[in-house]
């Protein structure tokens, strides 16, 4: 995962699960996002914010201040088989291509 610190100061705690079957990130042992499930045929941007009660929420509209941003690249496909039996199947998400931008939580 590409980590970008947007400003100085302490950042939220997070844990990444990166196995063959799980591609998740958990913020502050509270909010978990299944990154593979969020991947689409277009680039996906997710804002993680604190709301007015300091609860973690998704989306800047629901939030009061930024905690993190996730940028998930669009799905890639590979051709499997030949001729009439050929099909395009999605390549599993590679977390090395996901960007996590972190904001100070002070």
Question: What's the pLDDT tens digit per position in 48-103?
Answer: 999 988 899 998 877 789 999 999 999 999 999 988 889 999 999 999 999 999 99
Q: What is the pTM of this model?
A: 0.90
Residue 64 near residue 58, CB atoms below 8 Å = no
Domain count, the chain: 1
| Range of the structural domain that residue 76 is part of | 2-102
pLDDT digits (tens, 9 = 90+) for 20-42: 889 999 999 999 999 999 999 99
Phi, psi at residue 56, to the nearest 5°?
-75, 135
């Amino acid at each position: 995962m590409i980590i970008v610190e947007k400003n100085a100061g302490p950042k939220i705690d997070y844990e990444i699960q990166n196995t063959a079957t799980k591609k998740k990130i958990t913020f502050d042992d509270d909010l978990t996002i299944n990154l593979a499930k969020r991947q689409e045929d277009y680039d996906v941007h997710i804002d993680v914010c604190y709301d007015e009660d300091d609860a973690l929420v998704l989306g800047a509209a629901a939030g009061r201040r930024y905690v993190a941003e996730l940028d998930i690249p669009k799905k890639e496909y590979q051709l499997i088989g030949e001729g009439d039996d050929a099909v395009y199947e999605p390549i599993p998400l590679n977390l090395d291509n996901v960007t996590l931008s972190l904001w100070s939580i002070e």
